[in-house]
Structure 1
């Protein structure tokens, strides 16, 4: 089941987590706008910080449940980011499967009221030896539930 994410969803911050990110001069393209590839970078950095701050991934970021790969990354650009400074990434668990995790996200203003881009990202946890999908730990399931949509989706 696919959940449609509204282009602008200021009220959506009651689900998930809002993490601060910064846009720097070298993130901008020649037109003075945030380069399209940097939106994904902001999302990935916020996502990594969220999990690392909760003790996941170990020192390298790749230990245990941290050994996962991106399966899909979808993005829709809503408004251009045209200024340097403080912004945020708002994300939430959309679906947690046995070996995969899909999160919805928004790149937004620091207070979460303006959406610049939105989408979904799906990761798959891999066994480090076989490189085949392997189940998420119970700890990851607990953390994912804290930023999730209604519990019946897990």
Structure 2
């Protein structure tokens, strides 16, 4: 079995598809991806996306806390190998951000789980909510899901 990711991600109507790998040691005793690994894979995909698009040193947007995490499990992951996380922004507030994610097949087809996560940006000195930088807001706008 190959663990190579596709050379190019399929075109999506919104958001971005980030390749991820499920490793054998992430499967539980039943041979399925452990439920706690799904949001972890989404978090790692976001970290990769942000590192590619944001200069954390100058933006100051790296301090955020989770307010809410919702996830729905649709189809178990039974095999290690290449998968993807489809990421998008649901809502961008002054100090909050709601993002959506889908753990899916590497080609973006089959959805294994989907959910949302709400984070609040904090001032690292006061630990009080503070506004996102313009640089961060610009990146978020490029990932916004169109209104339905």
If the length of structure 1 is used for normalisation, what is the TM-score? 0.84
Whether 1:82 aligns to 2:78 is yes
Paired position in structure 2 for 1:32: 31
Q: Which contiguous aligned blocks of 4+ residues in structure 1 show a shift greater than 6 angstroms? A: none
- Where structure 1 has 5 or more consecutive residues not aligned to the other structure, the ranges are 1-11
Show CA shifts across 1:102-142 (max 9, x none): 01110000010100000101111100011000000011110
Q: Which runs of 5+ in 2 are unaligned?
A: 1-10
Instruction: Name the CA distance, whole Å, in 2 between partners of 1:105 and 1:13.
Output: 13
The alignment's TM-score, normalised by the length of structure 2, stands at 0.88
Count of matched residue positions in the alignment of Structure 1 and Structure 2: 137
Q: For residues 55 and 97 of structure 1, what CA distance do their matches in structure 2 show?
A: 18
Q: 2:90 aligns with which of 76, 87, 94?
A: 94
- Root mean square deviation of aligned Cα: 1.7
CA contact (8 A) 2:54 2:135 kept: no
Matches for 1:1-154 after TM superposition, within 5 Å: 13-58=12-57, 64-150=60-146
